[in-house]
Amino acid sequence: MLKRKAVESLENWVHHKNKKCLIVQGARQIGKTYAIEHFAEAHYAEMVEINFKETPSAAEIFSGDLDVDTMVMALRFRFPEKRISPDRTLIFLDEIQECEEAITSLKFWAIDNRYDVIASGSLLGIDYKRASSYPVGYVDYLNMHGLDFEEFLWSMGMAPEMIDSLHTFFDEKKPIPEAIHSQMMHYYRQFVAIGGMPAAVSEYVRSKDFREVDRIQRALLRDYQYDIAHYATADEKIKAEKCYLSIAKQLLDKENHKFQYKEIEQGGRAQKYFSSMEWLLRADIIYMCRLVSNIRYDLDDYARDDFFRAYTTDLSLLISMKDFSLKQHIVENSLSGDTKGGLYECAVADALYKKGYPLYFYKNNTTKKEIDFIIQKDGLVIPIEVKSSNARATSLNSILKNTPEISTGYKFIDGNIGTSENGVTTLPLYLSMFL
């Protein structure tokens, strides 16, 4: 059983739901259904679950009047073994993007407020089967992702108090004992090779067989390609798939990781492919890190939509775009050059994305300054660099030295905690889970 942080978020919702339904959204096969079912088992006497992909006929429940008594009556006839009573039953509407009237019904469940209703879906950001009346103001949202590194450690049997002890080193900025550090880097390289898709992690926990993990990763990638082919418009299908499958090359095979349309095909241009990238973004199949012209709050004011890096929503999918030998090189720590640097940048981006940070980067060709990632929190801007060795972070040091309003920056390395200098704190890659 995989322990997921989302279950705690579901528990927070049920105690503070304030007359709202909950929509759990995110990419496909990241464990949304599993987390909701696990939560329901612990907090309700029963659950009524409808998967609109699995049983399209269930849409009939929502084809007539959408008052709650009518819908509950229809549910009782469809599920005669269920009592469906307030306070003891969770109504779970899975793959809700397949039934537009079920989406509309969330407003009426919320207004009635007798029943707890959770919906989940993976393509809610695109215009596929758009609901006739979207329940704005009547739903809360929970964004889910694949497992992060901390959840991966839980799956490997590491006790939470052991992870808490690492947090002490993070807080105090003291070097981690070498025996612990080397073991953590071993776990971290495993995580980078496997990614956070639950099926891949579960298989590794069961078999410790990277060949079986690879088989699952490639099946997941095919499923994502199927979604593109099935749900994208006729004009976007081929273009969106080409864009998606170019991401590994763009991030791992070249020094400049900015997304370049010419890497999709010779002569490729934004005019042809930009709408396909937008579709992938809205479908939760990719996320973006945008270029900013200034490292200053609010970063969004300085962000450019036409210059960005594109990432897969989980490392499992990125790794499966490359040959199996990449996993061997990761685990054996035999990577070098741009591939190693690019891969670790992707791993830190994965950690930041799964924590909910919008991502930005900075590059100035005139001053030759470049910052891999910039995030902001509570009005503060935090620059971050990622190094495959403990090389000097020249741009990061210069920016902190010459920008008084930026007091803190992080350099993540394939090494141990280092001394802070000019506000720059050097940390091992795996401690990005604590940012």
Average pLDDT, the chain: 94
Polymer length of the chain: 435
Give me the pLDDT at residue 130, please. 56
pLDDT band with cut points at 50, 70 and 90 for residue 134: confident
Please give the order of strands across the beta sheet that includes 89-94: 46-51, 89-94, 116-121, 21-25, 139-143
- CA angle 405/411/414 to nearest 5° reads 175
Give yes or no: residues 386 and 332 share one domain.
yes
Residues 94, 54: Cα–Cα separation, whole Å:
9
pLDDT in tens, 350-380: 999 999 999 999 999 898 999 999 999 999 9
Tell me the residue ranges of DSSP E strands in 128-280: 139-143
Q: Which residues contact 286 (CB under 8 A, 6 or more apart)?
A: 244, 247, 277, 280, 310, 311, 312, 313
* C-alpha R_g of the chain: 23
Give yes or no: residues 83 and 33 share one domain.
yes
Give rounded-to-5 percent helix, strand, coil for the chain: 45, 20, 35
Residues 264, 279: Cα–Cα separation, whole Å:
16
**Final residue before a domain boundary, out of 127, 143, 159:** 143
Quick one: which of 316, 300, 312, 321 has its CA closest to 381? 300
Give me the pLDDT at residue 125, please. 77
Give yes or no: residues 262 and 372 share one domain.
yes
CATH for 78: 3.40.50.300
Residues 86, 66: Cα–Cα separation, whole Å:
17
Quick one: which of 239, 199, 250 has its CA closest to 221? 199
Give me the pLDDT at residue 126, please. 74
Give yes or no: residues 61 and 202 share one domain.
no
Residue type, 101: E
Give me the pLDDT at residue 132, please. 55
Q: Which two tokens stand for residue 193?
A: 């090779």
pLDDT in tens, 210-249: 999 999 999 999 999 999 999 898 999 999 999 999 999 9
Least confident of 117-126, 183-192, 300-309, 315-324: 117-126
pLDDT in tens, 289-300: 999 999 999 999
Give me the domain span that covers residue 85.
5-143
Give yes or no: residues 67 and 180 share one domain.
no
Supply the pTM of this predicted model: 0.94
Tell me the residue ranges of DSSP E strands in 144-246: none
SS3 174: coil
